[in-house]
Amino acid sequence: MDFDLTKEQEMIRKEVRKFARKEIAPIAAELDEKEEFSQELTRKMGEIGLFGMFVSEEYEGQAMDYISYIIAVEEIARIDGSQAATIAAGNSLGIGPIFYFGTEEQKLKYLPRLCSGEGLWGFGLTEPTAGSDAGGSKTTAVLEGDEWVINGSKIFITNAASEMTMGVTVQAITGTRESGKPEYSCILVESGTPGFKAVPMHKKMMWRASNTAELYFDNVRVPKENILGNKGDGFHQMLATLDGGRLSIGAMGLGGAQGAYDLALKYAREREQFGQPISKFQAVAFKLADCAMEIECARNLLYKACWLKSHHRPYEKEAAMGKLYASEVMGRVADHAVQIHGGYGLMKEYNVERFYRDHKLLEIGEGTSEVQRIVISRYIGC
């Protein structure tokens, strides 16, 4: 087995880390405090190629392997979860479904602008009464002549209500199967379509500088050609999208854990008590050792899942494992990091406080930790 990254992957890590430290680190706390989504920063991330990383060049993508994409998300998350969320959702949830399931016309129409970072796209799945139970969705789309008429609402949708948002992919009920169960399809809805309203959500505990929205559809009419793939493929498309998305959430957990650990290690080496750095005390040193070990385990598990995907092998079980483990590792590392900081760890002027808040979403978004355990248990035959 070869655990070495390629020269290109190493270069991506180096350049994204440099960008994150120079462009994101100085303003991350301020954006978080103001709950401000930065279009300027998002465009800068687009300029260095952080959108459309796995998309082929014919659609203006970067044509990179999935590990390269995950490394980029990891390095952004090492500095700030909000900006990592913009990248992860922009790629896995926004660009991904159009690239993998869209028609040639849809790809040519939307992907070049999305891959350049000029625009963003949302993925409308979660509803007020349908979270983990995605099959409980109530949003409907009825075909009337040459148009789909959409009614319903979505909630907690990333990148869906900014001035950069070009549109959203909406999962809706489009009929009933022979079994009596709802038939789901995904439909592309452009921003500005009459009856479609996206409302930014504020007062979040975490990812306060990312764009999160509630979506409302009131007799929204779009051309029948806006369907993604074939009628009835929506549930399959959603599951496939979430499988890939779990890898990017895992990368956010891995990067966030590394960032919290970096802060804790630095503080422990500088903070003195009883005449020596607190890193010399066994109670602190053991916490840091545990953090380093779990981060290494998370990285190996997540990279293996990405390797499987890049080589077109089954990876769904490993994706669920990677997402579950990395997100919970960040929780444990962030907790240790705050403990090592003591009272200072509870103050907003110390970045570790932000990492502690940001980790919680990772155990909920893209399938809760409980749902990941259900997925894994099914793969192992329980």
Residues designated catalytic: 366
Name the residue with tokens 């444990």: 332
Query: Kindly report the CA angle at 78 between 212 and 25, in degrees rounded to 5?
Result: 80
* DSSP one-letter string for 225-276: GGEESSTT-HHHHHHHHHHHHHHHHHHHHHHHHHHHHHHHHHHHHH-EETTE
Q: Whole-angstrom Cα distance, residue 249 to residue 252?
A: 5
Which of these, 153, 149, 131, lies nearest to 141 by C-alpha position?
149
List the alpha helices (DSSP H) in the chain: 7-19, 28-34, 39-47, 66-77, 81-88, 96-101, 104-116, 234-270, 282-310, 316-341, 352-362, 369-379
Q: How many Å separate Cα 244 from the centre of its chain?
A: 10
Q: Is 122 helix (H, G, I), strand (E, B) or coil?
A: strand
Question: 160-195 burial, b if ≥16 CB within 10 A, otherwise e?
Answer: bbbebbbbbbbbbbbeeeeeeebbbbbbbbebebee
Residue 217 sits at φ, ψ, to 5 deg, of -125, 110
Query: Kindly report the CA angle at 68 between 66 and 70, in degrees rounded to 5?
Result: 70
Measured CA to CA in angstroms, residue 188 lies from 18, 127, 130, 193, 323 at distances of: 36, 17, 20, 11, 27
Q: Is 320 helix (H, G, I), strand (E, B) or coil?
A: helix
